[in-house]
Chains A and B, each alone.
Chain A
């Protein structure tokens, strides 16, 4: 069955870089896009970006200068890197397949010194 699972550090210091991994199973990254969405505590959902089956990407313009999404199809993994983190980046980060049909469980990331 289709599964996605996020992993990464729970705590990141301000101004540092966040690195998250989304490990997928039950489908091929060459056939489906994967998106990243984040949710600050008690708030709504924000789309961050997508990596498509062909490997091209689209980013939310408000994050574009800090954000990079890549993948390794042989490992069935999608990566998110975002630099210059601030406290406002504290959130639960989700990966999801394509048009939001399957979601991971999310990983909570706190930005704090």
Chain B
């Protein structure tokens, strides 16, 4: 159980185009989904927190107009990199946290990541 998928696994695009990445929780409902960015040989940096049915909360320094997040259902969140540039090339990882029943913090389960290369 607790499987999270991401699509696509890798994408190459031209500078100036937009790219959409999907994150799905396959066997549980996720109240909250998270989007991270991982640079080579670096740790994961949280970009934003996405709650179903509400606006995402972005971390300091992350441009919300550039990284559009939509959490339309309890099993799907999308990240759209708008007008992508070469510096946006990175590994983007989502995670999902099961719907809470007790108010207790739940574990995050991670997707396999999407490697974006902007030419």
A and B: bona fide binding partners:
no
